[in-house]
Amino acid sequence: MTATEKDGLMALLGLALIVYATGMAVVTWIRPTSVFEPIFRARWRFGIPASKLGASALIAIQITLGAFLLLSAFHSRFAAIFGYAVLPVGLFSIVARLADLWKSDSEA
C-alpha cells in the first residue's frame, strides 16, 4: 500500500466519522423520531444508550478525530490543533460516561 492510498483511506475514515457524528447530532437533538434513529442513536459500548450529555461527548470525540484524520490526510498544518484537542475532548467523554453510569445506577 502506497502513501497515497493510505492518505486516501485516512481521508475517507475522517469523512465517515464526521458524517456519523452529524447524523448522531441530528437524531439526538433535531429529529429524534427519524427513520435513521436505529443507525445514528448515541450508544456507548455494547449498545448501552447514552444520555444527551453522553451524546454530546461522543459527537465531540468523533468530530475531533474525524477532522484530525481528514486534515492529516491532506498534510495540513492545522491538523495539530485537532491533535491537541483530542486529550480534553477524551477527558470530557470519560466524565460523561461516568455520569451516565452514575445516573443509570441511581435509577435502578
Written as tens digits, the pLDDT of the chain (108 aa) is 788 899 999 999 999 999 999 999 999 999 988 899 889 998 888 888 888 888 999 999 999 999 999 999 999 989 999 889 999 999 999 999 898 888 765 554
Q: What is the pLDDT of residue 101?
A: 82
User: Considering the entire predicted model, what is its pTM?
Assistant: 0.85
Per-residue model confidence (pLDDT) at position 4: 86
Q: Report the C-alpha gap between 79 and 64 in whole angstroms.
A: 10
